[in-house]
Amino acid sequence: MNFVYFFMSQFRYWLDCLLLRWVPPSLPAMQLGPEGSSQNPTMIQFFTWDAHHPDISWWEHFEKQVLPLVALGFTQVWLPPPHKAMVPKGCGYDAYDLWDLGEFDQKGTVATRWGTKEELLRACDAAKQCNLNIIIDAVLNHKLGADRTETFRAVRVDPLNRLKDIGSERHVKGWTAFDFPGRLGKVNSTLYFDWLEVNVQASIVACDGISIILLTGMSLREPMVYFAFHQKDMKVGQNGLTIVIQKYETIYLHGARGFLNENSLQLLIPYVRAFQGQTSFFDVPLHENFHRASKTGVSYDLRTILDGSLVKLRPGDAVTFVDNHDTLQQVGQSLESWVGINFKSQAYALILLRCHGYPCVFYGDLYPNDECYDEDTSRTLKQLLLARKSFAYGPMVDYFEHRNCIGFVRMGDSDHAGCAVVLSNDPMLDLTACKIRMNVGSHPGTTFRSFFDGSRTIAIDHDGWGAFPSSVDGVEVWIENREIK
C-alpha cells in the first residue's frame, strides 16, 4: 500500500512538473521596482514579530528610513498588516477590522501597533516619491475579536477534506458578528467569522459554502474571491499584497517540518500551476536548506545547497529569503528554523548575488533589534546589498566543485560590471590552499580585488581565468580593480 502511494505521488509530481512547461513565470510580469529601471529589484520585509520603536511610531520610523533603503538598493518594501488588531498591541495577524488603518477608536485604541492612518499614508507617499514600491500584508484567511455571538446552521466536515461532510446539519453558536461600532457608520460593515462554540475542539464546520477552522481560516477559493472583491477599495498606494491562503499555509507551516525533508515541491507545484503565473511563492525549501546548512556546519555539502528548492525548478516564481518573522527561534513561531550566524552571510550571498529568484531581506538581520540582531551579519549584509546593486548583473556561471567551497561568476552587462563570488562553510579552511579557479570573461590580464576590504587582489590571466579564495567570514565578492573607488 505504501509503495502504491509513493508511486502515485511521484507520478503526480512528475506530471505536475511536466505541465509546468506551459505555465508562464510570475516575476517577469510583476512590477518589482521603478518602471524602466535596469537596477536589480530587491525587497525588504520591514518588520519583525515584536518590532517596535522606542520613540516614534513604526510608520514614522519607516518614513525616516526610505532614503537609506533606496541607497542600499531596495526597490520594494513589505509592510506589516496595517489594520486594526483584536488587542491594542496586536501586530495585525490577529485581524479585527481590515478597513481600520488606525483611524477609528476600536479595541481600546485609535492607532494600530504600527501607528495612525495619517502616518501610514505619509510614509507611503514618501516611499512613492523615491520610487520605492509598497507591498501590504493582507490577512484574509481569518478574523479575531468578534463583537458578539450568533446562532446558525452548520455541518462538521473532514479536517483533511473539507468537501466531505462527517456529520448532520445542526445549529451552532459562534462568535460571528462583527459590528465595528467604532467606525460610526463611515465604512460599510461586512459579516465575518471568529470562532465557534462547539463541543469538539479544533473541529471544522461548513456554513453557507465557507469552511471555518478555529480562527475561521477559509479554503483556497473563498479568500481569492474576497481579495478580488475588495482590491479596488485599497487606497494606500500599495503595489501588491502578500496573501496567506489557508491551504498554502499548511504547506508553509507543517511542510517545513515533515514534508520538506522529503520533497516539499510535491506540495507546492500544484499551486504554481493553479495560479498560472499570477502569484509568486516564498521559497521555503531553500530556506530549509539554509537552516540545515547552519545546523550541520562543515558536514553540509554546499554543492547541494539549491537541491529541492523552488528557485532551482522555477526561478521565475521564487521569492527567496533567508529568515523572516516566522522563523525566529521563539516559542510559538511558525517555523522556528532560524539560520545561524555561521551561515547567514553565505545564504544572503546566494539570494542576492545570483540571477535567479527575487530576494527578500529580513529587517531583523539588517537593523538593530532585541530579537535577532547580529552586528557582523548586518555589516556584511549591507555590503552584499551594495554589491547586488552595482555588480551582480549579466549571465551566471556556476563552479560548484568542492564540498565546502563553491563559487559563481556574474559576467556583467553593458551598464554594469560583473563579479566573482566564493562561499565556504569550513572555518578551518586553508584559504591559501583552497581556491576556486573561475573564468571572469572579458577581463584578460587585469586584477580583481576584494569588494569587502579592497586589500586582497587576484591576477587574471590572458584567457580570463583566476584562482579565487573565500574569506574567514565564509563569503567573498571579487570585482575588477577599476570598480573600487
Residue 437: beta bridge partners? 467
- Give the whole-angstrom CA distance, residue 465 versus residue 458: 10
Helices (H), 49-147: 58-71, 117-129
Residue 407: beta bridge partners? 399, 422
CA 142 to chain centre: 20
Q: Which helix (H) or strand (E) holds 10?
A: helix 2-19
- Give the whole-angstrom CA distance, residue 187 versus residue 76: 29
In the block, residue with C-alpha cell 460599510: 188
**Residue 410 contacts residue 480 (beta carbons within 8 Å):** no
pLDDT value of residue 293: 98
Show pLDDT as tens, one digit a residue, over the chain (485 residues).
Answer: 566 666 667 777 777 777 788 889 999 998 888 888 899 999 999 999 999 999 999 999 999 999 999 999 999 999 999 999 999 999 999 999 999 999 999 999 999 999 999 999 999 999 999 999 999 888 887 889 989 998 888 888 888 887 888 888 888 888 888 889 898 877 765 545 454 443 333 334 444 433 333 333 333 333 333 333 333 344 455 565 554 443 333 333 222 222 223 347 778 888 888 888 888 999 999 999 999 999 999 999 999 999 999 999 999 999 999 999 888 766 555 567 899 999 999 999 999 999 999 999 999 999 999 999 999 999 999 999 999 999 999 999 999 999 999 999 999 998 998 999 999 999 887 776 679 999 998 887 899 999 998 889 999 999 999 999 998 889 999 999 874 44
For 252-256, the CB contacts below 8 A with 24+ separation are: 252/282, 252/284, 252/326, 252/334, 252/335, 253/334, 253/335, 255/284, 256/284, 256/287, 256/288, 256/335, 256/337
422 phi and psi, to 5 degrees? -130, 130
- Give the whole-angstrom CA distance, residue 22 versus residue 29: 16
Residue 228: beta bridge partners? none
7 phi and psi, to 5 degrees? -65, -45
Q: How far, CA to CA in Å, does 330 sit from each of 48, 333, 376?
A: 12, 6, 22
Angle at 377 between CA 299 and CA 33, to 5 degrees: 110
Neighbours of 39 (CB within 10 A): 16
Half-sphere exposure of 133 (CA within 13 A, CB side): 17
pLDDT value of residue 260: 29
Cell matching residue 280: 509568486
147 phi and psi, to 5 degrees? -85, -25
pLDDT value of residue 240: 55
DSSP-derived letter for residue 112 is B
Angle at 317 between CA 99 and CA 232, to 5 degrees: 25
Question: Which residue, 58, 115, 51, is CA-closest to 83?
Answer: 115
CA 367 to chain centre: 17
Report all structural domains of the chain as residue ranges with CATH numbers, in order of start: 2-139+221-390 (3.20.20.80), 148-213 (2.40.30.140), 396-483 (2.60.40.1180)
Pairing of strands 358-362, 318-321: parallel
**Residue 466 contacts residue 459 (beta carbons within 8 Å):** yes
**Residue 132 contacts residue 70 (beta carbons within 8 Å):** yes
